Chains A and B, each alone.
Chain A
Amino acid sequence: GEDVEQSLFLSVREGDSSVINCTYTDSSSTYLYWYKQEPGAGLQLLTYIFSNMDMKQDQRLTVLLNKKDKHLSLRIADTQTGDSAIYFCAESPSGANNLFFGTGTRLTVIP
């Protein structure tokens, strides 16, 4: 079955860049996603990347996709305290109606 893995914790200083990594298993995944979850809240879609792309940039966010290694990363430039949250990587295998999520990476931004 699908297995999406992420490291559990990441701490960075305010103003530094954060890089959150994810590996996935289903090579048929057409889209890959990054969601943000703040305490007690639902998930907010941050960005997604189509599988034929290597990189996508959206303001402070940069997504890199290495399809050969099934590796996805999210870089947050100039990390702010408001970026502290749990970040989930998710894949959408071809033909599937649902998303498969990783366990999430808790990002802590130190002022």
Chain B
Amino acid sequence: DTGVSQDPRHKITKRGQNVTFRCDPISEHNRLYWYRQTLGQGPEFLTYFQNEAQLEKSRLLSDRFSAERPKGSFSTLEIQRTEQGDSAMYLCASSGDRGPSYGYTFGSGTRLTVV
């Protein structure tokens, strides 16, 4: 297991298009998190899954955003009708049963540019 994988690494899209990102967590981790990081800022929490259940969503996750984790393994984050303000690095992280206690393991992120 090489850690948390995210795909694609970079995505450039035109405003109004839909995009989907994928995250493969560490296989034995049942918790999965999505964060967004804009330039010059720290990561901001978007949503959290425990197994296949989406247990928490931040107010940053507008109705254009949807995340799924259908089998409790990989997760997808879809953004519909992208806007320039969606340009950011989208980070996925995973952790074991103790949640954030011992810190998350982050992936390398997907950098989205909306033109």
Contact = CB atoms under 8 A, between A and B. Distances in A.
Given A42-B91, A45-B105, A97-B55, A103 B42 contact: yes
Contacts of A97: 31, 33, 48, 55-56, 99-100
A88 interface: yes
Nearest to A90: B42
Interface of A: 4, 30-31, 33, 35, 40-45, 48, 88, 90, 92, 96-104
A45 B103 contact: yes
Contacts, number: 65
B55 A42 contact: no
The 8 closest A-B pairs by CB, nearest first: A101-B42, A98-B45, A42-B106, A45-B103, A43-B106, A42-B108, A92-B100, A97-B48
A31 B100 contact: yes
B104 interface: yes
Given A44-B106, A45-B103, A92-B101, A101 B44 contact: yes
27 contacts: A31-B101, A31-B103, A33-B103, A35-B103, A40-B111, A42-B107, A42-B109, A43-B93, A43-B106, A44-B106, A48-B102, A48-B103, A88-B42, A92-B100, A97-B31, A97-B33, A97-B48, A97-B99, A97-B100, A98-B45, A98-B56, A98-B100, A99-B45, A99-B100, A99-B104, A104-B40, A104-B41
